[in-house]
Amino acid sequence: MSDWQQFTRFFLHSPKLGISLDLSRMGLDDAFLDKMQPAAEKAWMAVNELERGAIANPDENRMVGHYWLRDAALAPTPEIRAEIEKMLREVVHFANQVHTGAVKPPGKARFTRVLSVGIGGSALGPQFVAEALGQKDDKLKLVFLDNTDPDGFDRVLGSDLSETLTVVISKSGSTPETLNGMLEAAHAYKKQGLDFAKQAVAITGDGSVLYKQASSEGWLSIFPMWDWVGGRTSVMSAVGLVGMALQGLDVQNFLRGAADMDGWTRAQKWQDNPALALALAWYKVGDGKGHKDMVVLPYKDRLALFSRYLQQLVMESLGKEKDLQGNVVHQGIAVYGNKGSTDQHAYVQQLRDGLNNFFATFVVVLKDRDTEPFEVETGVTAGDFLNGFWQGTRQALSENGRANACITLPEVNAYQVGALIALYERTVSLYAQLVGINAYHQPGVEAGKKAAKSVLELQSKLLAALQTEPERWWNAEALAEKLAADPEAVFLMMRHLAANRASMQFRGEGLGLEINGLPRAAAVAH
């Protein structure tokens, strides 16, 4: 088969969406596709059942319903449909009230900025969409607290907050990073003489800790988070839509793009279904074991955060120790990337000539800009250079046997971004079925949370132990023995405290670091 014949066989295009998917350089062939046909049919049926309301997360006995968010008519019950439709109406209405000044901060004409406080899926999706679709004339500017870094808090919260609307996003209300961000934000408002509750909105689960707090304190509004929507697929719920609507972005076309992509990816045959074709390509290139990483290369500044968004969607969904039968399989696909052509000056050298442990995914946008073209050379624009760079990079990789796929969008707008997200959501679902894992639980994440909690518990024990002999100097080994703890963990904790607790007494450096239980002032006086 010639290169052109291979290209035409594995080139999928939707006239309705204007989106194309080229898998001609992913190593697909008829022998592999014939062998995978039974598994592909089974995966297709499983995802269709998921969309109809099947229990997709047996660990928590939950449905997975992110598909219903862009087409509420698909919801398995009238109650869920009504909830989705109500949420959308309330999001749009609230944003309109903010834009008109009907909802405004005390003493000001209107809000001009939105501070979004969240972590993981409650941040990555909204950040990606805001960056991809934002314009200089957006109705409100969005900024984010998406970590528990004190310096990060100071950088964001150090400006005037009098016209800032804070949106706190947490299903439980007790996620430590988000809780810390909310507490830091509330403290910053108070320092400026502002009432946090009068400038705050919650997006949370019904009856959660955050829900109760927002209700009792009279926050401006509360929007729902449902247990059948996971964080990494929540961008089309209130999690993503509130920020979009406040920013003034096209919420309806965002959802319509996703719904239309869902329609395209419901086809039973891979030739008509880009998500199934892409899932099969992932399987082929990684031997069904995730043996190759996914390098995402969007050739558009607006899509620079797409690789970060996909990291969580793909890695949290597919990174699993056990399959559905309980067998240890250690599945997953690692994702990294940055925008082109930036990467051509970063790690493309290794991609072409180094370890062949990856496949590339080019994301290409046909429309260069909204303004008139400008020639940087005679007959050549900057966009022409960008087009040449991605094609050249692709050819260079292909010549050295490096697998690659290409997704082409006509332009970057709400409709196309919604469709792009939906394509990968379904691809992840289908691939998980092909390799026999549950894409919708995350025991590893929970394990990390438990480990972090144990560190904080150890810190409390350490501080209490110091008070039993406040004048004694302790090194890590002695203190670990007293606490029956790991000396390394104790040393790392002492080092952290020494750098951040000016009120405590320390001496020595490195492994010679020592601590006592006297406050610094008391120690000096003593």
List 136, 345, 372, 450, catalytic entry? 345
pLDDT digit string (tens) for 365-392? 999 999 999 999 999 999 999 999 999 9
- Does the active-site annotation cover 93? no
- Say how far apart CA 479 and CA 482 lie, in whole Å: 5
Mean pLDDT of 250-274: 98
Residue 310 · residue 304 · CB < 8 Å: no
Tokens describing residue 207: 């009856």
- The model's pTM is 0.92
Cβ pair 334, 294 in contact under 8 A: yes
Is 332:444 a contact under the CB 8 Å cutoff?
no
What is the pLDDT at residue 444?
A: 64
Q: 412-429, pLDDT tens digit by residue?
A: 999 999 999 999 999 999
d(CA 515, CA 526): 16
Q: Provide mean pLDDT across the span 193-198.
A: 98
* CA atoms of 238 and 378, how far apart (whole Å): 48
Q: 432: which 2 tokens? A: 């998980």
Per-residue pLDDT tens for 400-411? 999 999 999 999
Six token digits for residue 222: 């509360």
Q: Which residue blocks in 436-475 are alpha helix, DSSP H? A: 443-466
Phi/psi for 485 (5° steps) reads -125, 170
**Closest residue by Cα to residue 201 from 168, 177, 178:** 168
DSSP assignment letter at 371: S
How is the chain split among helix, strand and coil, in percent rounded to 5?
A: 50, 15, 30
- Quick check: 311 and 335 in contact, CB under 8 A? yes
pLDDT beyond 50 at 246: yes
Instruction: Give the residue carrying structure tokens 């001609």.
Output: 24
Residue among 308, 306, 388, 389 nearest 343 (CA): 389
Region of residue 361 (phi > 0: left; psi between -120 and 50: alpha; otherwise: beta) = beta
Catalytic residue from among 191, 269, 367, 449:
449
CA-based end-to-end distance of the chain: 86
Supply the pLDDT for residue 273.
Answer: 98
Domains of the chain, first to last: 3-51+253-439 (3.40.50.10490), 66-249 (3.40.50.10490), 444-525 (1.10.10.10)
431-469 pLDDT, tens digit per residue, is 999 999 999 987 766 666 677 788 889 999 999 999 999
136-155 pLDDT per residue, tens: 999 999 999 999 999 999 99
The mean per-residue pLDDT over the stretch 276-299 comes to 97
pLDDT of residue 154: 96
Q: How many CB atoms lie within 10 A of CB 443?
A: 12
What whole-number distance in Å separates Cα of residue 427 and Cα of residue 40? 12
- Catalytic pick among 51, 316, 425, 514: 316
Q: What does the mean pLDDT of the chain come to?
A: 94
| Dist. CA 508–CA 526, nearest whole Å | 19
The residue behind tokens 């920013």 is: 247
At residue 307, the pLDDT reads 95
Query: Per DSSP, what are the bridge partners of residue 20?
Result: 13, 408
Instruction: Tell me if residue 399 is catalytic.
Output: no
Residue with tokens 């094609």: 391
User: Dihedral sign, CA of 420, 426, 432, 438?
Assistant: positive
Examine the pLDDT at 292 and tell me if it is beyond 50.
Answer: yes
Residue 448: the pLDDT is 66
Instruction: Give all strands (DSSP E) within 136-226, no chain letters.
Output: 141-145, 164-169, 200-204, 221-224
Active site annotation includes 449 = yes
